[in-house]
Amino acid sequence: MADQRGVRQPGRAARTNRRVLASEYCKEVVEDALRIHGGFGYSTDAEIERLCRDAPMLLIGEGTAEIQKMITGNRLLERYRA
């Protein structure tokens, strides 16, 4: 698929995979940061506290990661069968 300038854009499956991967990495990084900060990470004075609340929402914001993976798998199967 190309845009008006003729630049090739990634397909839906690729965008979905990137979104899932980025949200999973975000959650891992926030969990590691919380381990580093220890108890201070739970304090509302720390920025990491807000990130700990927001990171899980990335995984379920546009559908759970499992659903996104199922959609991607189904699209790949359709392409394979065609």
Tokens of 22: 């980025």
Residues 6+ apart with CB under 8 A from 62: 19, 68
- Distance, in Å, from the CA atom of 12 to the CA atom of 21, rounded to the nearest integer, reads 14
62 is catalytic: yes
- Distance, in Å, from the CA atom of 74 to the CA atom of 31, rounded to the nearest integer, reads 31
Question: Catalytic residue among 31, 62, 66, 78, which?
Answer: 62
Q: Point out the residues that are catalytic.
A: 62
